[in-house]
Structure 1
């Protein structure tokens, strides 16, 4: 994966946003939150705005800040994870990164509606928004319920020429590859070996025989049993029971390749 802002993290974020936007429960929650805030009128809006104005104000703040924050944090967390950072650290950085545009949106709204100073507002709000953004990002990950999703059955493919590099004693029934610095550990149904190659080179040579599912993992299609989600983490479950993590920026491609269209 190139060390630049690429479209992989953005593609994943848009995929997740479309999936979330298709859920009626999400919109019911957003409407409920907007109505409650509009009726209660926190942060001085009860005294300064009529009820219709309060509901409109909080609806715009909730919707715009949520989507900007969601997309920003998802992209940044994906890029952080793609560079090898642990998932909790990636989530925290995503939440912190999202706090700046969210604080900017709320400050701009306050400046437009109440005549407040934009820079004073953003300086006042940013620390609070940063804490809330990190907490919400963490809760969003944890609260995603467990789910096991069957995948499209793979046809038995022809063995790629690349598998001839495997020692005869472990056979050519390749299950998975794992990156190890400048080497790759190749695992078959009979054992494993260390090869001096890169994941990118192996992935290109193996083609449709398998999928790159993580910066450090590749799996053979015929060995994939199900996709499992648990506490926000996506895993590939193999036929032998092993679980392989799916990197954030690979999730949309993995789902598209393995799940039947709805």
Structure 2
């Protein structure tokens, strides 16, 4: 999965996405309650064991959204690999859930419930290696859980339907032909007003005024299929339509294009002259 796909699933704050994520996480909690890993099977009642895992899983689900929205976009901009981004996200999730694991250990071991004195006694009695071992267990379980749920979610998503090979609507024949070979790749519900293209690993994400879609192809090939469409490549990973450019911003020596869908696209130095020829700079 790409970093963008991970961000969309774990961080997109929509009701539908949160319900889907809760369903996956809840199912994982039930499975963990049945298996009882890390000595949780020693709990006297099955209900208590399921409650233990479901509570930890639901807390993890609540944490995942803010963490994904805060971590994946900057990692994507910095060019992190999906594997590294996934690993860092798993570590952050494990750090967030670890205090709740310690609290549960205190609660389960206390003969009279959780008290301040017993909590301090417990924390002082447990050795440093015990904490390292517990965190390692949390990290392994969290990594496996996030990875499995991410792959299951990706597997059940149906690919966008192909657009029927019918002529594109337009005011004249020139508009019909320009870029039609590439635009036919887009789902019909996305329309044909292309804004920009951005590379994500081996995939190309195409943005229109109505949404976006991942396509397995190279940017070079897409630019070739868009011959005649008013746009140009501005970076080795980005192509923009001229009509989509709303503002040109400068950050020191860096040039950034602000598009009308609020995306910001960096401009490489090697493409500055082409932008000047188009009258954009």
TM value normalised by structure 2: 0.47
Larger Rg: 2
- If asked which structure has higher relative contact order (CA below 8 Å, sep 6+), I would say 1
